[in-house]
Structure 1
Amino acid sequence: MAFSPLPAAAATATIAPAGSFKIANIELRGLQRISPSTVFAYLPVHVGEEFQYSETPKVIDALYGTGFFSRVNVYRQGNVLIVDLKERPAINDIRFRGNSLIKTAQLKRALKQAGIAKGLVFKRDVLNELRNELLAQYYGQGKYNVKIDTTVKPLPRNRVDIDIHIIEGKTATIKQVVVVGNHAFREQHLLGLLDVGTKPWWEFWSSRNKYSQARLSSSLNTLQSQYLNDGYINFALNSTQVALTPNHRNMYITINVHEGEKYSVKKVSLAGKLLYPKAQLMKLLKIKPGEVFSRKQVLDSVKALQNLYGDNGYAFANINPVPQVDQATHEVSLTFFVDPGRRVYVHEIHFIGNNGTSGNVLRREMRQMEGGLYSTKLIDLSKRRLQRLPYIESVKIDTQRVAGSDDQVNLNVHVKERLSSSFTASIGYSQFDGITFATGISSQNFLGTGNSLNLSVNTSRINTLYQINYINPYYTINGVSRGINLYYQRTDTASADIIDYNANRLGMAVSYGIPLSEFNTLNASYGYQQVKVTVGTDPAESVTSYIADYGSTYNLFKLGAGLTHDTRNRTVFPTSGNYQGLNLSLITPGSTVKYYKVSYFNDQYIPLSSWLTGVLNANVSYGAGYDGTRTLPFFDKYYAGGMGSVAGYKDSSLGPRDPVTGQPTGGNFLTTASAGLRFPAPFLTNSNSVRMSLFYDIGNVFASARTFKANQLRSSVGLGLEWLSPIGPLSFSIAKPLNAKPGDQTQTFQFNIGTYF
């Protein structure tokens, strides 16, 4: 006896033939990819059971409901129950074309979250789900004119490929944003807080007027923060209406707000298990009685308390601010409830992402030790030290509880490495050096050891340099560094528009850096340099007279000493901290000539916002001869002018000039300073390798400190761009000299391309 299959939808509504039989065996037919064990797991009947014909719909529904099958038939042959199945095809691949705004990997992630991915079962209705999910992704980016076409291509072994062709169209443009219900702040002020809106005609790089759901949400949060930080604790966003024109090209946004009344702080108190004197804790609170209520100050107070407890092992201290609102007087009383939790210790530190760097190299920078008491201060310091390594781009540290322990945690240190080793062969151009050729092997992280090795050859119309430089930052276990530098340099100044001479330098130096504290380092070095000079075709009097007095070959024995203080958060485009140093270079007795040079520099980085950094630089350098040497040699004088000195003036063109040739001679005393604002390029806001700046430069070089005159300082203002490109650092500046004198050589546009340093 046999009975026909019933459609799943109809099976429960049709009366099956009466009767039953005992199942001797169950036979599955039509399976290709799905295993029999999977089917048996879903079957509601089993071998040896009495099967009632009325159970047929239940069997069909159970298997059809898995979504694995497009057809389910059930038969009886003797006492064998036969289940005949047709599997749905599996998705072999999903291919995209035409997408540029949203990357393919991002689209695939979104589809996977919606249950659509390679290897999963394909259903016809999945195409609608797929299309709707993709539309949601593009609508969120303001692409309301997007068109999505899908094609299903059958493949052998019951598989399909899904081809998705996307025509993204143009992003909807925001034509107007209106805030309704505001009284405390002018609408123009509130609109200026938003990341979306109309833009000025000259701001051609901005995407501010391009709609994005994520940026609108971020803007609304910023708007809410403005009110909550200024006492409006009952502020509410009543609604946000986004109107789209019929052609889907333009948008109008209306934001309806309820401000409420402005509240001040009546009382601030602490409660709970404090552990520390209340007076000490109260000093950490940023919000005070009598002030306007501010959510930011509340959160800053919580953070300050958590840092105190975290510095002493309480990694999971819970600080809960509880407000009591007096609606009649418009005052808020705040109580910070403190639950420090248990004191915890660091069990293990795991490094993640260090594919090219030894874990020991990273571990030696950690100030938080395994087995030590947890300290947020030491963890932050460890993060800062790791970020300052030239081969590390970014660092993130997570705290994870140890399973089965309530007083231990592990630290997971996620690092993102920079490309630290390279073979370079480049051609560049500099307005000072002309065409430059560079080749070399450079590694800031040689074989993952953290040591630096540089083998390079650089040639230009002025300088040719062959150099081998090796630095071990941990020459001793205590962090004393040692560097070895060997070099040969040929210099021909005829093309540099300064005093004319040729010089060949051969030298070596060994340097040490001795850490005195976390941020202070004592530097010491010794070395030897031989300099052979010849006069050019148009020599200056200062060159010929110096050679007449001291000869043309100079054997120089060098001693160096210095002290540096460095609190920068990173070495590449720092955004906070200070870097300053005092250095002395002494050409010792026994040398052909004897002289010394002293220099001091100070660089200050001030975070003004999340994207804007204030930069202040100052430099003072002085040199002089001693023990019978009357002045600095002409080949080791200071020069000023150009980028990095005083932009807007030609390189090395400022200061004293030869009375006969009129060429710059350099000087014994140099002073420069700069103030600027550094920010990401508006057209590359997410790039870590490009920065722009507005700057003011001032400085000059003088024959000696006695000849310094403030009215002889030159100054300029300008716009600069720096790009750490794959071929080397690129620098551009447009500067306007503010007080150029007759005879000064000015240069509005200056640049360096592809020159390594």
Structure 2
Amino acid sequence: MNKSLLSFLIAGLFATPALAFEPFAVKDIRVEGIQRTEAGTVFSYLPVKVGDTLTDEKAAQSIKALFATGFFKDVRLEIDRDVMVVVVQERPAVAKLDFVGLKEFDKDVIVKALKDTGIAEGRIFDRALLEKAEQELKRQYLTRGKYGVNITTTVTPLERNRVGINFNIEEGVAAKIRQINFVGAKSFSDKELLSQFELTTPGWLTWYSKSDQYSRQKLSADLEKLKSFYMNQGYLEFNVESTQVSISPDKQDVFITVNVVEGERYQVSSVKLAGEFSVSEDELRNLVKVKAGDVFSRERLNESTKAISERLGKEGYAFANVNAAPEIDKEKRKVAFTIFVDPGKRVYVRRVNVTGNTKTRDEVVRREVRQMEGGWYDAERVTASKQRLDRLGYFTEVVVDTPAVPGTADQIDVNLAVVEKPTGNLMLGVGTSSTDKVILSGSISQNNFLGSGNNVSVQVNSAKSYRTYAFSYTNPYFTQDGVSQGFDIYHRTVNTSSTAIAYYTSSSTGGGIRFGFPIGEKESLGIGLGLDSTNITTTSDSPKYYQDFVDKFGNRNLSLPVTLNWASDSKDNYFFPTKGTYQRAGIELALPGGDLKYYRANYQLQHFIPLNSKFTIMLNGELGYANGYGGMELPFFKNFYAGGVGSVRGYKASSLGTPWNGTEYHVGGNRRVIANAELLWGFPGMEKTFRMGWFFDAGQVYQTDEKFDLGQLRYSTGLSAAWISPMGPLKFSFGRPLNKSSTDKAEAFQFQMGTTF
């Protein structure tokens, strides 16, 4: 066989071939040496086809094209008569990736990161890419502060020209920030400056927050906070000159040094308004929070320009441009500002678009929107729309965007993107007591039934002490203008033998219908009418005034209660509010015509005060008063009670007030006062789902013949936690009474739990 060999090296592709041959017509092409690669794949990359004339140039192009695929580490051409033979040596493929000692990261996260570098199961193995993958793996560990990580890579050949890659990882421990130093800071102590930083030295919560581990991004954010802090204190020329980050030789400790130049402290000499005003200048000037003689504050200046911009937005100027230009007098350390106002063109809303509501109907979302299509843009109405959607409790997130309509100068769209969450609530409880044995309780409620925005709930409680079967339905938009309508049906039995309440039993069956009327953007008025039939049973163990009431008015009573409620809600969030006020006042009146005549009035005021971005103070106050009228007494089963979750934590439920006749049992009272103060903060990293609090509670109930004496208030303090868990909302409290009497019953740990579906 007359066979000539042509061997082409990459280095000689662009040179004159050393072994030339006479061009010939290719009658066939044969591929040798392939194990995994299909012959058709090789043919697809060759620039030579059967019937073509093979020349030196085309032979060089063929070798170059096959090398360029990255599939082969060696390629050569042979000629057997008029047949072109392509002889290849394949690169191995990655069969599997193994990790030994991987604890800090989930394996899938690392596999994805390595895939981005080119190393993944099924791909062609390239040692150069393996080195790149090692560096990427080390980079991942450096982001977690593990500077001493050691990675050893082993490549093991496998059958069918494959390899296995093993990463042996010695993670080590994360380096901790041991010290943060400030050089050049004279006006403030290191403690004050460190309070502006998220990065910190190790503390009791840093094991979770990881804030004691260095991060370049976190340091940059902290330096910006530091700059804002100084500029809010008047240091207009403050600057961070440099930062140094050093690691100890054992790679366990990190030291950060921040070099700053404070500059001089400036006062505001004057503030002027200039430009075009679409509203009165006096009104805009009242929005300016920076006054002549004040120490300069960038925060107050930004608040001023933002307030002016929002005021213009209320008039339809969605793209108003408001900027403050400074004039600095370094000798006198004064700064004057001219706020230039350019309202731009007035725009109107073309469309309101809703996305993300896969279950909730469009009309349920749109009826909460206060910005109308075709009307002038109003920033205040857009903000109110978002707040109303947030308060529905149907969505985990509501994002509002107002893009300009392409090709127009006076139109925008309002895009509402919502993220739905489960709105059903399944509350289940199982407990035991010496009298009730096993207690089963539960309730099912759906705040957004079938996406209609209607509320449906069913409550079942099988406890001997409080047994309840109830059904409720509410349509919040019974009419298009926001009048709500609902009804309730219930059957309840009470047996106080296993509670802190003096003994009696009752059985109540009834129902009612109610309506709600919006009387303002954040206010509503409710009215309801019910029918209740209650059967009371007392024994010789019951308090005498229980027995006297039954003797006087009978053990079966029919009442016609009418309720009137007023509510105002300006809280910024449904679950975890940080600012705003909630008020509620109501009265329940048993109408003449029934067997009972009484009234119960209550008032609640709740206020949230943000201290900063992390802490909020909640203040809550409640007053209740009840009595009979028309010559009738207040039914004892309509008394107020206090103690437990929702009133004074740390005391057992319904255990406050003067005990009956020197016993350990309580009868409640016709007056109640409750006060709560709580410092709230989000748990680091879980601010939207977990919140903690330090509370101070006070409260008491007073009987009809008792003097209203605030000196009788009971106090408690402790820690609380609220968690929107995957199972549903959970609330915990650990309270300690501060002035417990011998007749009070303490209960340190209290909780509520439920499951969301």
TM-score normalised by L of structure 1: 0.87
Report the counterpart of residue 752 of structure 1 in structure 2.
751
**Residue aligned with 1:137, SS:** helix
For residue 141 of structure 1, what is the aligned residue in structure 2? 144
In structure 1, the residue matched to 2:721 is 721
Task: Give the whole-Å Cα distance in 1 for the aligned partners of 2:39 and 2:531.
Answer: 76
Among candidates 633, 649, 652, match of residue 650 of structure 1: 652
Given the superposition, is the C-alpha separation of residues 273 and 756 from structure 1 closer, same or farther in structure 2, using an over 3 Å criterion? Answer: same
Letter in 1 for 2:451: G
Change beyond 3 A, Cα 1:424–1:648: closer
> Residues of 1 paired with 2:336 and 2:122: CA distance?
58
The answer on whether the counterparts of 1:597 and 1:622 sit within 8 Å (CA) in structure 2 is yes
In the alignment, which residue of structure 1 is the partner of 2:690?
Answer: 690
* 8 Å Cα contact 1:173/1:209 also seen in 2: yes
CA distance in 2, matches of 1:665, 1:499: 6
Question: Residues 16-57 of structure 1: CA distance to partner in whole angstroms, max 9, x if unpaired?
Answer: 6679979999989777599799858xx7x9999999846876
Whole-angstrom distance in 2 between the partners of 1:424 and 1:163: 49
Q: Is this contact kept in 2: 1:541–1:658, CA < 8 A?
A: no
Contact 1:315 1:343 in 2 (8 A): yes
Distance in 2 (alpha carbons) for counterparts of 1:82 and 1:399: 65
Q: In the alignment, what sits opposite 1:659?
A: 661
The code of the aligned residue for 1:359 comes to D
Trace 1:18-417 onto structure 2 (pairs within 5 A): 32=38, 39=45, 53=56, 64=67, 70=73, 101-103=104-106, 107=110, 123-148=126-151, 168-200=171-203, 207-417=210-420
Q: Name the counterpart of 1:734.
A: 734
3-state SS, counterpart of residue 471 of structure 1: strand
Q: 1:510 aligned to 509, 513, 516, which one? A: 513
CA distance in 1, matches of 2:434, 2:580: 32
8 Å CA contact 2:731, 2:753 repeated in 1: no
Amino acid paired to 1:634: F
Alignment of 1:398-547 (within 5 A): 398-421=401-424, 425-428=428-431, 436-536=439-539, 538-547=541-550
Is the Cα–Cα contact under 8 Å of residues 176 and 202 in structure 2 kept in the other structure?
no
1:286 corresponds to which letter in structure 2? K
- When residues 280 and 424 of structure 1 are mapped into structure 2, their CA distance, relative to the original with a 3 A threshold, is closer
TM-score by length of 2: 0.87
**Stretches of structure 1 lacking an aligned partner (at least 5 in a row):** none
1:638 and 2:637 equivalent? no
Partners of 2:427 and 2:755 within 8 A in 1: no
The separation in 2 between residues aligned to 1:601 and 1:312, in whole angstroms, is 36
Unaligned runs of 5+ in 2: none
Separation in 2, partners of 1:243, 1:182: 20
Which has the larger displacement, 616-625 or 159-168? 159-168
Cα shift at 1:79: 10
DSSP 3-state at the match of 1:618: strand
Q: Is the 8 A contact 1:398 1:411 kept in 2?
A: yes
By how many angstroms is 1:746 displaced?
4.4
> Which deviates more, 177-186 or 74-83?
74-83
Distance 1:14 1:231, change over 3 A: farther
Matched position secondary structure for 1:526: strand
Match for 1:581: what amino acid?
R
Letter in 2 for 1:701: V
In structure 2, what is the equivalent of residue 585 of structure 1? 588
How many residues get paired? 750
For 1:100 and 1:351, the matched residues in 2 are separated by 43
Q: How far 1:193 sits from its partner (Å)?
A: 2.1
Kindly provide the amino acid, as one letter, of the partner of residue 534 in structure 2: V
Verify the 8 A CA contact 1:431 1:750 in the aligned structure 2. no
Q: Give SS of 1:220's match.
A: helix
Shift of 1:583: 0.6
Q: Retained in 2: the 8 A contact 1:437–1:459?
A: yes
Task: State how far apart, in whole Å, the 2-side matches of 1:79 and 1:290 are.
Answer: 97
Aligned-partner Cα distance in 2 for 1:80–1:337:
82
SS at match of 2:301: helix
Q: Secondary structure of the residue that 1:707 maps to in structure 2?
A: coil
Q: Do the aligned partners of residues 336 and 131 (structure 1) sit closer, same or farther apart at CA in structure 2, a change above 3 Å counting?
A: farther
Q: Give the CA deviation at 1:420.
A: 2.0
Contact 1:502–1:536, Cα closer than 8 Å, also in 2: no
| Structure 1 residues 525 and 95: alpha-carbon distance in aligned structure 2, compared to 1, 3 A threshold | farther
1:604 offset after TM fit, Å? 0.8
- What fraction of aligned residue pairs are identical, expressed as a percent? 36
Indicate the SS of the match to 2:541.
coil
Distance 1:754 1:338, change over 3 A: closer
Match of 2:239, as an amino acid? A
Q: Shift of the alpha carbon at 1:493? A: 0.5
Partners in 2 of 1:90 and 1:243 — Cα distance?
41
Superposed displacement of residue 693, structure 1: 1.6
Question: What do the CA deviations read for 1:235-264 (whole angstroms, capped 9, x no partner)?
Answer: 332332222223322222222222233333
Letter in 1 for 2:417: H
Residue 669 of structure 1 is matched in structure 2 by: 671
In the alignment, is the contact (CA less than 8 A) between 1:242 and 1:252 conserved in 2? yes
C-alpha separation in 2, matches of 1:674 and 1:401? 47
Whole-Å separation in 2 of the counterparts to 1:434 and 1:689: 35
| 8 Å contact kept, 1:131–1:148 | yes
Deviation at 1:104, TM superposition (A): 5.6
Distance 1:121 1:648, change over 3 A: same
Q: How far apart are 1:161 and its partner, in Å?
A: 8.4
2:627: which partner in 1? 624
Equivalent-residue separation in structure 2 for 1:321 and 1:49 (angstroms): 75
Offset of 1:167 from its aligned partner?
5.4
Give 1:749 deviation, angstroms: 0.8
Contact 1:462-1:492 within 8 A present in 2 as well: yes
Please give the secondary structure, in 2, of the residue aligned with 1:128.
helix
**Aligned amino acid, residue 679 of structure 1:** W
**Which residue of 1 is the match for residue 699 of structure 2?**
699
- Shift of residue 163, structure 1, vs aligned partner: 7.1
**CA–CA separation in structure 1 for the residues paired with 2:395 and 2:664:** 48
Which residue identity is paired with 1:515?
Answer: P
State the alpha-carbon separation in 2 of the partners of residues 687 and 75 from structure 1. 69
Is the Cα contact below 8 Å between 2:426 and 2:754 reproduced in 1?
no
8 Å CA contact retained: 2:491, 2:510 = yes
Distance 1:538 1:667 in 2: 19
Which amino acid is the alignment partner of residue 654 of structure 1?
A: L
Contact 2:29 2:50 in 1 (8 A): no
- Residues 446 and 452 of structure 1 are in contact (CA less than 8 Å); yes or no, is this contact kept in structure 2? yes
Q: In 2 relative to 1, CA 578–28 (structure 1 residues): closer, same or farther, beyond 3 Å?
A: farther
